[in-house]
Amino acid sequence: MQLNDLRPAQGSKKSRKRIGRGNSSGFGTTAGRGTKGQLSRAGGGKGAGFEGGQQPLAMRLPKLPGFTNHNRVAYTPVNVDRLNTLFADGETVNDETLVQKGVIKHTYIPVKVLGNGELSKKLTVSVDKVSASAKAKIEAAGGKVE
């Protein structure tokens, strides 16, 4: 037996139904769609999500509560322990120095310093926002917040 002798089993392969190829084919004229009615028309039938006339699921579901405030300012959080590891004693922390150290990507993104971790270096912090706990830790270490 050779590869070219292999054939599928008898009756396992059916030729496809060629619709709309003349009356002698058995599927001419109406092409198996029947006469008249919604499904016989081109583009006929129900749309996706049609549920027999009842309110579709997408319209039955409740809308999301609340609203999205388009004027909300999203701050990039930076913790004091990160400042402690990246900055030397007496350095200034601002947008430019944070970009240089790779903490943030762009200077136009507002930054908020948060009070997670410990700070042992005297730093001058000049950013958009500072939390109360971060301010207390910076000032306790001898630094100042501008």
65 part of a folded domain:
no
40 part of a folded domain:
no
Parent domain of 87 = 76-145
Q: Residue 137's domain is classified under what CATH number?
A: 3.100.10.10
As a whole number of angstroms, the distance between CA 128 and CA 40 comes to 66
34 part of a folded domain:
no
84 part of a folded domain:
yes
Amino acid letter at 109? I
* Count of structural domains within the chain: 1
In the predicted structure, residue 13 carries a pLDDT above the cut 90: yes
- Do residues 87 and 54 make contact, with C-beta atoms less than 8 angstroms apart? no
41 part of a folded domain:
no
87 part of a folded domain:
yes
Task: Give the tokens for residue 133.
Answer: 């706990």
Evaluate if pTM is beyond 0.75: no
- Do residues 93 and 124 make contact, with C-beta atoms less than 8 angstroms apart? yes
Model confidence pLDDT, tens digit, residues 121-143: 999 999 999 999 999 999 999 99
22 part of a folded domain:
no
80 part of a folded domain:
yes
Model confidence pLDDT, tens digit, residues 71-96: 999 999 999 999 999 999 999 999 99
The secondary element (H helix, E strand) that includes residue 80 is: helix 80-86
Q: Which residue, chain included where needed, has tokens 């970009």?
A: 99
Query: If phi over 0 gives left and psi between -120 and 50 gives alpha, with beta otherwise, what is residue 53?
Result: left
- Do residues 132 and 112 make contact, with C-beta atoms less than 8 angstroms apart? no
